[in-house]
Amino acid sequence: MQVIGVGFGRTATMSLRGALTELGAGPCFHMIDLINGPERERDLALWTRIADGEQVPWAEVFDGWEATVDWPGCTFWTELVDAFPDAKVLLNVRDFDGWYASSANTLLAIKQAAIAGELEPDANRPQPSPLLWGVIERVIWQGDFQGRFEDRDAMRTLYEERIATIRATVAPERLTVWKISDGWAPLAAMLGVDVPETPSPGCTT
């Protein structure tokens, strides 16, 4: 394991996943891999056990992966930082208001649509399985969000305190803080590689 992404999802993690892979820290595990990844059956079985509170060896969970960003990995950041002491720690961040709006418009909207039976099929990916919905509920909604997502003020406090805790816990020489506007440079420096000449993560021009 080269990189442990400890920031919440909805912080440009899909762009980050691609960037880390391009920089040589791939394959990079992301929630999308539990939806349509080639090893999704294996991975979902493992994460279901973890969400149920079972102790599963992290080396087994991340066998074949070089990095992780987004959920569900970021929920267990303290365990992963300890389990992979040689891995770099990447705190991917976004301003709270932008993060909260993005999460409400995607995560919450999808959850509400699914509960109402109104989730429209996506031709680009299969529908999440019942097992995955269970992992998302236990890990994200009841875990990281503590069942309080719709209380915006509570979530602001939770979000800011989490970032502060990570900064205070992880040794500075091991930690890189990144937001999408930072582009390639901090990621390349973290991995000790050259900055690519291709557009920065998230850019299309």
Sketch the domain layout of the chain as residue ranges: 3-191
29 phi and psi, to 5 degrees? -80, 140
Residue 61's nearest CA partner among 96, 88, 33 is 33
pLDDT digits (tens, 9 = 90+) for 75-107: 999 999 999 999 999 999 999 999 999 999 999
Q: pLDDT at residue 205 above 60? A: no
Locate tokens 């999460």: which residue? 103
pLDDT digits (tens, 9 = 90+) for 105-115: 999 988 888 77
Residue 77's nearest CA partner among 5, 155, 165 is 5
pLDDT digits (tens, 9 = 90+) for 128-171: 788 999 999 999 999 999 999 999 999 999 999 999 999 999 99
Q: pLDDT at residue 204 above 60? A: no
pLDDT digits (tens, 9 = 90+) for 20-56: 999 999 999 999 999 999 999 999 999 999 999 999 9
Say which CATH class 3-191 falls into: alpha beta
Instruction: Say what the pLDDT of residue 201 is.
Output: 84
Cβ burial 128-146 (10 Å sphere, 16+ → b, else e): beeebebbbebbbbebbbe
| pLDDT interval class at 200 (50, 70, 90) | confident
Angle separating helix axes 96-103 and 152-169, nearest 10 degrees? 120
Kindly state the average pLDDT of the residues 169-185.
Answer: 97
Are 96 and 159 in contact, with CB atoms under 8 Å apart? yes
| pLDDT interval class at 203 (50, 70, 90) | low
| Residue at 134: amino acid letter | G
Counting beta carbons within 10 angstroms of the beta carbon of residue 163, is it exposed (0 to 12), middle (13 to 18) or buried (19 or more)? middle
3-class secondary structure, 29: strand
CB neighbourhood size of 90 (10 A): 28
H-assigned helices in the chain: 13-22, 32-36, 40-51, 58-61, 77-83, 96-103, 109-115, 130-136, 152-169, 185-191
CA dihedral sign, ordered 118, 124, 130, 134: negative
Are 84 and 170 in contact, with CB atoms under 8 Å apart? no
| Residue at 54: amino acid letter | E
Residue 109 DSSP label: H
Q: pLDDT at residue 122 above 70? A: no
3-class secondary structure, 5: strand
Q: Could you tell me the pTM of the whole model?
A: 0.93
